[in-house]
Amino acid sequence: MTGTELVIDSVTLTAGAHRLVEDVSLAARPGEVVGLVGPNGSGKSSLLRAVYRVLRPASGRVGVDGADAWSLPVRQLARTVAAVVQESGTESDLSVREVVAMGRTPHKRLLDGDTPQDAGLIRWALAAVDATALADRPFDRLSGGERRRVLIARALAQQPSLLVLDEPTNHLDIRHQLEVLATLRRLPATVLVALHDLNLAAYYCDRLYVLCDGKVVASGPPADVLTPRLLAEVYGVRSEVTVHPRTGAPQVTFLPGEPSAAAPAVP
């Protein structure tokens, strides 16, 4: 597994007459963890869909190591990019091990069985998300958090050079949130991840892109991006941002106070 360069150049995404993302540019270098943050509806998931080729840009370009991602053969793309999305279509009677083994499919010919190397990667991926004990259980009988971890394991088993994740910590308890993000941090692959938790984003990401109303309003290292002024403008909240005494990462504390717009009266 090695990293690849991702360059999103002036991408606009639409749904009918509605603009989801407008003129967004972003870069992620090999080995970097780049975070997308912003309020609900800001365009984070839409932008990720353009990278893993579900939502075609109306204009602009998604480049993967210099090649247009939308022009790559399907098999080559599957060997390069793995995605963990919020909505999973994997509803079947497959075991957890079988679901994770699906991550090896792009590297095989039709009807090929698992090699010893495949088996080793599957065991490693399960262990990386603390799911070894789940290996023989039916996937469709797992909890939401357990399913999430298994789908992340499937993406890890794929050994992509670009890993795209949409809120990978959703449904996970605190321990597994930290373990999953630490695993992503250690990968040589390039990682593009959308996160809601700003403190997790500040600690685990090399750089952040802040989206609001479909546009990038700030980008850079977390310490430069996460300021009380930006959080007030983008999220409509009061906050304090300090430096954590042990990690050195920015730490955001949200404060009570008047919202940026008056709340509607209770009927």
pLDDT at 83 over 70: yes
pLDDT at 260 over 90: no
Q: How confident is the model at residue 216 (pLDDT cuts 50, 70, 90)?
A: very high
Question: Could you read off the pLDDT of 87-120 as tens digits, one per residue?
Answer: 766 567 899 999 999 999 998 877 777 889 999 9
The rounded mean pLDDT for the chain is 92
In the chain, pLDDT over 70 holds for what percent of residues? 94
> Apex CA 112: angle with CA 162 and CA 87, to 5°?
45
Q: What does the pLDDT read at residue 114? A: 80
Greater pLDDT, 172 or 91: 172
Domain ranges for the chain, please list them: 6-255
Mean pLDDT of 131-149: 95
Q: Which residue has the tokens 């007459």?
A: 17
Question: Could you read off the pLDDT of 115-139 as tens digits, one per residue?
Answer: 899 999 999 999 999 999 999 999 9
Q: What does the pLDDT read at residue 2? A: 75
Record the tokens describing residue 43, joined without a space: 């365009």
pLDDT at 163 over 70: yes
Torsion angle of C-alpha atoms 166, 29, 122, 135, degrees rounded to 10:
-20
Question: Could you read off the pLDDT of 222-248 as tens digits, one per residue?
Answer: 999 999 999 999 999 999 999 999 999
Q: What does the pLDDT read at residue 139? A: 94
Q: Which residue has the tokens 């839409």?
A: 46
CB atoms within 10 A of CB 119: 14
The pTM (predicted TM-score) of the whole model is 0.93
Question: Could you read off the pLDDT of 196-213 as tens digits, one per residue?
Answer: 999 999 999 999 999 999
- What's the rounded Cα separation, in Å, for the pair 189 and 207? 15
Give domain 6-255's CATH number out of 3.40.50.720, 3.40.1410.10, 3.30.300.90, 3.40.50.300: 3.40.50.300
Q: What kind and span of H or E run contains 177?
A: helix 174-186
- What's the rounded Cα separation, in Å, for the pair 254 and 135? 40
Record the tokens describing residue 223, joined without a space: 């310490």
Contact predicate 30/3, CB 8 Å? yes
